Amino acid sequence: MILWLVLGVWLWSTPPVLSKNDLLGKIDPTQDTRFVKPDNQYTLGSARSQYIQKETYAAFIKMAEAAKKDGVTLVIVSATRTFAMQKTIWEGKWEKEKAIVNPVARAKKILLYSSMPGTSRHHWGTDIDLNALNNAYFMSGEGKKVFDWLHQHADTFGFCQTYTSKEGGTRTGYEEEKWHWSYMPLSRMYLQEYKAKIKAEDIQGFLGDHVVGQLPILTEFVGGIACL
């Protein structure tokens, strides 16, 4: 059994039994009872057709309502992305960067901000992108107000900014994403299971998958997070 503190209440939870397909995003959230479709008032854009884990969503609603009382609006712009959805994103960028002939160099360019299919935390329904997919948005005006509020309060609701600044060499992998927040009571367990069950040879089925073994995908990217 695992014990954690959320919103000032002690909760007991049995760790979920997770298959490789759960971890790699080879799922159908629309048919999975762990997932729910968020209400439109809490979503924008493509997120309005996406799903999220019920526990993540419940925590987000509490956080969003608390933020609203402080004059801050939080909306989900991306939630659960399946392997197939991530494959579409990845392969679109793979083709876009075809001027980079060396496949390892091409993959590294894409990996600045995008995960390979099978390696994204968005597969799990535990991670959400909030308000805008642009670091600059969060550095001034309303965006800075949003980020400052999250920085001060998100951990109270179980959320953590997964990809912080890499300055100082304290984190590896993807560049900073001020918009990406993870619901740690669930994602921590998913990451533990991922590390135990997923090998490099499991990450395949998309353009460029032949370079997986030449890059530190599991250690520096899947494991390159600021949240413990």
Neighbours of 222 (CB within 10 A): 22
Residues 126-150: pLDDT tens digits?
999 999 999 999 999 999 999 999 9
Would you kindly state where each structural domain of the chain is located, as residue ranges?
Answer: 23-222
Spell out the residues 6+ positions from residue 209 whose beta carbon is closer than 8 angstroms to its own: 116, 203
Q: Assess whether pLDDT exceeds 80 at residue 78.
A: yes
Class of the CATH-defined domain 23-222: alpha beta
Confidence label for 208 from pLDDT (cuts 50, 70 and 90): very high
Measuring CA to CA, how many Å separate 228 from each of 80, 124, 159, 162, 225? 21, 17, 11, 9, 8
pTM of the predicted model over 0.85: yes
What does 105-144 look like in DSSP terms, one character per residue? HHHHHHTTT-PPTT--GGGGT-EEEES-S-GGGGGSHHHH
C-alpha span between 95 and 210 (Å, rounded)? 15
Q: Assess whether pLDDT exceeds 80 at residue 52.
A: yes
Residues 87-97: pLDDT tens digits?
999 999 999 99
Share of the chain above pLDDT 90, in %: 90
Confidence label for 169 from pLDDT (cuts 50, 70 and 90): confident
Q: What is the pLDDT of residue 228?
A: 80
Measuring CA to CA, how many Å separate 18 from each of 4, 24, 57, 119, 186? 19, 10, 19, 15, 12
- Mean model confidence pLDDT for the chain: 93
Confidence label for 14 from pLDDT (cuts 50, 70 and 90): low
Q: Read off the pLDDT of each residue in 166-176 and give the average, rounded to a whole number.
A: 91
